[in-house]
Amino acid sequence: MKTKICILLTFLGAYLTAQENTTKILPAEIQIKTAVLPAPEADKEAAMVYGYDTTGNMVVLRQGSNNLICLADDPSKEGISVSCYSKKLEPFMKRGRELTAEGKNFKEKREIRGMEVAQGKIKMPNEPSMTYIYYGSEAGYNPDTGELADGQFRYVIYTPFATTESTGLPDKPHAKGMPWLMDPGTFRAHIMVGPFN
């Protein structure tokens, strides 16, 4: 009898631990409210929003009618990070999400997308395309209101194949918050701005 009770308590303990480690998915309206935090005020209401359903799968939480797509915070990752980007970047961003779901690492994703851009399978925008990012700690996040008290902004402007020569930008920042060009000369060339503190 004692053995059965010990086994039962062991299974119960394991079950409760598993329940504690289960990722909590916030209500869609809170995910949306947080997802649009980085967007300009005038664009928040009409932005399309991707978030997570109750099983943790990424889904469209809200259809949009403007030029922005916003991503809710990934509940499986530490901290809070949300972003909004130009619809012109969606083929590139979507492919990245697909490759992540396949278990590809950063290097593999970069190589595959680079090859697919070269083959014309992924179309990168011809003009600069904006991405807004807002991030902070879980301690500063209120899951009841969707607000992030300690958030910081970072801005990314994709300019495929731009170089330091064509932009006049350095390939590393000389001061906090200054613009600089990351991955110059490649399909992922982008101007980084921020964080500012």
pTM of the model: 0.85
Separation CA 194–CA 88 (nearest Å): 22
DSSP H helices, the chain, are 2-21, 28-35, 90-101, 106-118, 164-167
End-to-end CA distance of the chain: 62
Dist CA 195 CA 184 (whole Å):
20
Domain ranges of the chain: 24-193
pLDDT in tens, 5-48: 444 334 444 444 333 445 789 999 999 999 999 999 999 999 99
CA-closest candidate to residue 21, choices 53, 45, 56, 52? 56
Mean pLDDT of 142-165: 96
Averaged pLDDT for residues 73-96: 96
pLDDT value at residue 77: 93
Q: Which stretch of 19-23, 74-78, 187-191 has the lowest confidence by average pLDDT? A: 19-23
List of residues 6+ apart from 26 with CB closer than 8 A:
34, 75, 143, 146
Residues whose CB is less than 8 angstroms from the CB of residue 158 and which lie 6 or more positions away in sequence, other chains included:
86, 89, 92, 124, 125, 128, 129, 130, 131, 188, 189, 190
